[in-house]
Structure 1
Amino acid sequence: MPRPLRWFRRLPLRSRLALLTAAAVAFAVAVVSVICWFLVEQKLYDEVDSQLTTQLVKGDVTLNDVVATFRNCSPQNTPDNLAGQRNPYYRQIVQADGTTCALTDAGTVRVSGSDLRLATNPTASLEVYRDGVSSDGTPVRVLTAPLYLRPGVPFPNFVQTVAYPLKDTRSTLNELALLLLGVSGIGVVGAGAAGLGIARAGLKPVDELTEAVEHVARTEDLTVRIPVEGEDEIARLSRSFNSMTAALGDSRDRQAQLIADAGHELRTPLTSLRTNIELLARSEQTGRAIPPDDRKALMTSVKAQMTELASLIGDLQELSRSDSTHAPDTLDVVALHEITRAALDRARLRGPELTITAELQPWYVRAEPAALERAVVNVLDNAVKFSPPGGSIEVALHAGTLTVRDHGPGIPADDLPHVFERFWRSPSARSLPGSGLGLSIVARTVQQSGGRIALDPAEGGGTEASISIPGAATPPPPAPPQAPPGSPMGSPPQSPPQSPPQSPSR
């Protein structure tokens, strides 16, 4: 940045606005004042030129008249002097050699080159206006015109000159210049004061916003809100700040609630695990052996608690990922029916005594494959977990809607609004394994894919879960593999081994 502008950047914003306003007004006033001054000057000079034109000798003259005038060139004999009046006009006749003859007692006017050129080569109807100086140094306005022998025929070697003092005209212009300068100064000062006042009033919301930001930075109080008035840019900025603080406050509240809920959920398995380990340690320290059956049950409990902790930590890691990491335009096109079919195979392994039927139509969606499979597995696991022994589960995929219907005890109407909340578990399900995060993860995955999920009571008992995800363009079929050099043509391609899907943590 140029050095002269650094001081300007250091000024407060309101001072800069006031200075810019004053500068803009000063420029506008200066332009208007200069234009006004020149217009008035031209008008005054036009009036003087008009008066000079009326003083010209309009009649025809003869050579004898001119010779007699030069022979008796004495201003004291003019009619104005004989009447006792002083003629303000300078009138004289100029010869081509520069000789002049004053016709009034005002004096003579210094001859210029234009006067001599016109006297040497007079041209009819040619009048020359110029600024000149009299013999005593007075600024005058001069009009030089030919003398005429008869209409249209100028007299050779002689011209007439008429001049008028510019003292009054220039005095008027000087007074006008002082007046315009004073008015301009008052206007600039007033504009600067008005700009400062307007800047203060206009930047008041910015000051409030600054105070609010400083307060939040100092106290971490996210409940601060700025009053919003109007629909201008400042109002939009205030609304954006209020929305930001509200979002930050909600995020902090959710984070605190997540930590509190996670601590509560971790406390139970950790307490049980600590008790079991203490029993094992005390048995080793005291030398009192634990009965084999009790020791086996104790080790089974320790393994179950460790599995529950691992599942809970995995769910927390899944929820800790930012929702913005999977924007819709970065997701892959996957086959929902294939993912559902793979999830069904895993569900049948977990509930071999259940009858699981499926009717799946092809449907392609835009989602993260691993997360979507985890969501479908969680929904099927819930159906398996709450189905009675020997029960049945119906799964269907039609027109982009996946439904999973079980015949379990169902969900009470009072619990339906809370089923997708983190760590929420129905009182009837608290004794069952799980962290209370499965459906929350399912809901977030479906929402990232632009879909929706709902749990509703099913007719005849049980629960029906429905997942609807917008369809995506069907991916093109894979190109056939190229046969390597030396291999027999037409041999079937070898499909790479597929690793089984990993079991999601619950």
Structure 2
Amino acid sequence: MVRRFRTLPLRSRLALLVATAVAIAVAAVAVVSWLLTRGQLYDELNTSLKNSRASDLQVKQAVAGCAGPPAVQSTSEFAYTQIVLPDGSRCVAPYSIPVKVKPSDLGVVNGSLESTLHNSVTDRGAPVRVHTYRMGVGDGQEFTVSVSRPLDEITTALDRLALLLTGLAGVGVLGAGAAGLWVARAGLKPVDQLTEAVEHVARTEDLTVRIPMEGEDEIARLSRSFNSMTAALASSRDRQARLIADAGHELRTPLTSLRTNVELLARSERTGRAIPPDDRRALLESVQAQTAELASLIGDLQELSRPDAVRSGPLTVVGLHEITTTALSRARLRGPGLTFSTDLSPWFVRAEPASLERALVNVLDNAVKFSPPGGTVEVRLRGGTLTVRDHGPGIPADELPHVFERFWRSPSARALPGSGLGLSIVARTIHQAGGEVRLEPATGGGTRALIQLPGAPVPPPGKP
């Protein structure tokens, strides 16, 4: 049953649940109302019986009926009167119907009970309500008297009430089912819109679809989340398209140059016309340089193609000053004519050593690339802030907001080697390590790169 219920549409399940809940509530109210009414009617009947005490004349007539001919019986539905004797026999008053004696009636006869109220039946099987009590007559005699009234006056009213409540409950359940279906349709309308939007996106891959948002309820939050998701997916697809387009543009130049040089070498071999040694050496050096540039570009693309949540290696506690020293040794090879002024204080951070080293190499390469011949690159590490300053031409203020964008290069630097991905990798790596990086003009000319990473001047316990 539960499995079958789960296979129903959500709208049908909501309508069924609402109808069931209302049916239970209506049934509970009906039962409680019937029980309260029944109790109230019994209380009124008990009060009426207690107030309807037999007269001395009725008692004497009942006693006379036991001594003489049988009492005249009537079908009167108001009250029946009889005297209960110690042996359980009865003396019925005229115009009354005999009622069966119960043990509680005998308890009143023998004095163990003062009075009793209970249900019984007549000799004909009709249900009655009985009040049995002790009563004295004028000559000093005392008898046990039972006064009873038919229960039909209660049961008839209760049967009518039960029928009425059943009809009202049925109407209420049907109304609740209809209301539940209407509520389910109205409440699930935004969900239907969301479903249609999702199906449209899955069918057409159109990420410009947006769902109208009204209010601050759960449906509005769901719509807002869907709109945010589609906007993020659209932005991601746009970035991916730009990355592919920019990568294709950047790959075209080295590939064209490499193809031209290889074709010259191949034509020389095919025609037998030797290329002068100096020209051949230049061609081979150009092929080697273009190959290295392609390898570097492909490596940068692979680095940037990984999702931000995916790291190339585990985070470990490393010395930023140590990684900076290693990166400086590589930068000195690329700028043999430059002077590197260093001032590094110990600072330990949690990062990926390989990625962090590559980011620092990119920053230092940028300083080497823009430093004038014989210039100085100043590298300083104090309190978790690494500063790399060159004395080159600097970066115009209007270009600073774009320096960390993929494939962006200053118009003045397009003739220099590079793909425009180095600083993008730097920003990504530093942000993953919880730090910040920025470029700013240096006083007196040049550019200053500032990298701030959270850490401590001493390694944590257990680290060398």
TM-score, scaled relative to structure 1? 0.85
Q: 1:73, 1:102 within 8 Å by CA — same for their partners in 2?
A: no
Alignment of 1:332 onto 2:325? no
Q: 1:450, 1:470 within 8 Å by CA — same for their partners in 2?
A: yes
Offset at residue 312 of structure 1 (A): 0.7
Q: 2:383, 2:457 within 8 Å by CA — same for their partners in 1?
A: no
Residue 178 of structure 1: aligned partner:
163
- Which residue of 52, 66, 77 maps to 1:70? 66
Alignment of 1:100 onto 2:96? no
Deviation by residue 1:151-204 (Cα, 9 ceiling, x = unmatched): 9x984xx52221112222111111111111112112222222222222222211
Residue 289 of structure 2: aligned partner:
304
Residue 412 of structure 1: aligned partner:
396
Q: 1:130, 1:141 within 8 Å by CA — same for their partners in 2?
A: yes
In structure 2, the CA distance between the partners of 1:87 and 1:422, relative to structure 1 (3 Å rule), is closer
Deviation by residue 1:324-376 (Cα, 9 ceiling, x = unmatched): 12499x62222111221222222222222212211222222221111111111
In structure 2, the CA distance between the partners of 1:169 and 1:12, relative to structure 1 (3 Å rule), is same
- Which residue of 118, 141, 146 maps to 2:134? 146
Alignment of 1:224 onto 2:209? yes
In structure 2, the CA distance between the partners of 1:201 and 1:465, relative to structure 1 (3 Å rule), is same
Task: Please give the secondary structure, in 2, of the residue aligned with 1:240.
Answer: helix
Q: 1:93, 1:102 within 8 Å by CA — same for their partners in 2?
A: yes
- Which residue of 233, 240, 249 maps to 1:248? 233
Deviation by residue 1:259-318 (Cα, 9 ceiling, x = unmatched): 111111111111111111112222222222222222221111111111111111111111
In structure 2, the CA distance between the partners of 1:326 and 1:289, relative to structure 1 (3 Å rule), is closer
How many Å separate the matches in 1 of 2:455 and 2:112?
Answer: 96
- The one-letter amino acid paired with 2:450 is S
- Which residue of 75, 93, 110 maps to 2:100? 110
How many Å separate the matches in 2 of 1:468 and 1:59?
Answer: 112
Q: 1:92, 1:101 within 8 Å by CA — same for their partners in 2?
A: yes
Q: 2:65, 2:71 within 8 Å by CA — same for their partners in 1?
A: no
How many Å separate the matches in 2 of 1:366 and 1:478?
Answer: 14
Q: 1:355, 1:391 within 8 Å by CA — same for their partners in 2?
A: yes
How many Å separate the matches in 2 of 1:123 and 1:460?
Answer: 119
How many Å separate the matches in 1 of 2:275 and 2:411?
Answer: 34
Residue 133 of structure 1: aligned partner:
121
- The one-letter amino acid paired with 1:261 is D
Residue 280 of structure 2: aligned partner:
295
Alignment of 1:19 onto 2:16? yes
Deviation by residue 1:371-414 (Cα, 9 ceiling, x = unmatched): 11111111111111111111112121122211111111111223
- Which residue of 462, 465, 480 maps to 2:449? 465
Q: 2:62, 2:91 within 8 Å by CA — same for their partners in 1?
A: no
Q: 1:140, 1:165 within 8 Å by CA — same for their partners in 2?
A: yes
How many Å separate the matches in 2 of 1:220 and 1:479?
Answer: 51
Deviation by residue 1:465-506 (Cα, 9 ceiling, x = unmatched): 1111122473257799xxxxxxxxxxxxxxxxxxxxxxxxxx
How many Å separate the matches in 2 of 1:10 and 1:253?
Answer: 40
In structure 2, the CA distance between the partners of 1:198 and 1:474, relative to structure 1 (3 Å rule), is farther
Residue 47 of structure 2: aligned partner:
50
Unaligned runs of 5+ in 2: none
Task: Please give the secondary structure, in 1, of the residue aligned with 2:455.
Answer: coil
Task: Please give the secondary structure, in 2, of the residue aligned with 1:279.
Answer: helix
Task: Please give the secondary structure, in 2, of the residue aligned with 1:140.
Answer: strand
Q: 1:392, 1:406 within 8 Å by CA — same for their partners in 2?
A: yes
Offset at residue 37 of structure 1 (A): 0.9
Alignment of 1:350 onto 2:346? no
- The one-letter amino acid paired with 1:49 is N
In structure 2, the CA distance between the partners of 1:18 and 1:107, relative to structure 1 (3 Å rule), is same
Task: Please give the secondary structure, in 2, of the residue aligned with 1:325.
Answer: coil
Give the stretch that moved more between structures: 136-145 or 196-205.
Answer: 136-145
How many Å separate the matches in 1 of 2:32 and 2:281?
Answer: 107
Residue 29 of structure 1: aligned partner:
26
Q: 1:60, 1:148 within 8 Å by CA — same for their partners in 2?
A: no
Residue identity over aligned pairs, in percent, reads 64
- Which residue of 122, 132, 142 maps to 2:111? 122
Q: 2:62, 2:93 within 8 Å by CA — same for their partners in 1?
A: no
Deviation by residue 1:446-472 (Cα, 9 ceiling, x = unmatched): 111111111112222211111111224
Residue 316 of structure 1: aligned partner:
301
Q: 2:433, 2:453 within 8 Å by CA — same for their partners in 1?
A: yes
How many Å separate the matches in 1 of 2:325 and 2:461?
Answer: 20
Residue 212 of structure 1: aligned partner:
197
How many Å separate the matches in 2 of 1:368 and 1:313?
Answer: 20
How many Å separate the matches in 2 of 1:86 and 1:462?
Answer: 121
Task: Please give the secondary structure, in 1, of the residue aligned with 2:397.
Answer: coil
Alignment of 1:393 onto 2:392? no
Q: 1:365, 1:472 within 8 Å by CA — same for their partners in 2?
A: yes
In structure 2, the CA distance between the partners of 1:101 and 1:416, relative to structure 1 (3 Å rule), is same
TM-score, scaled relative to structure 2? 0.92
In structure 2, the CA distance between the partners of 1:303 and 1:150, relative to structure 1 (3 Å rule), is farther
In structure 2, the CA distance between the partners of 1:381 and 1:61, relative to structure 1 (3 Å rule), is closer
Task: Please give the secondary structure, in 1, of the residue aligned with 2:246.
Answer: helix
In structure 2, the CA distance between the partners of 1:86 and 1:367, relative to structure 1 (3 Å rule), is closer
Q: 1:87, 1:104 within 8 Å by CA — same for their partners in 2?
A: no
Q: 1:109, 1:134 within 8 Å by CA — same for their partners in 2?
A: yes
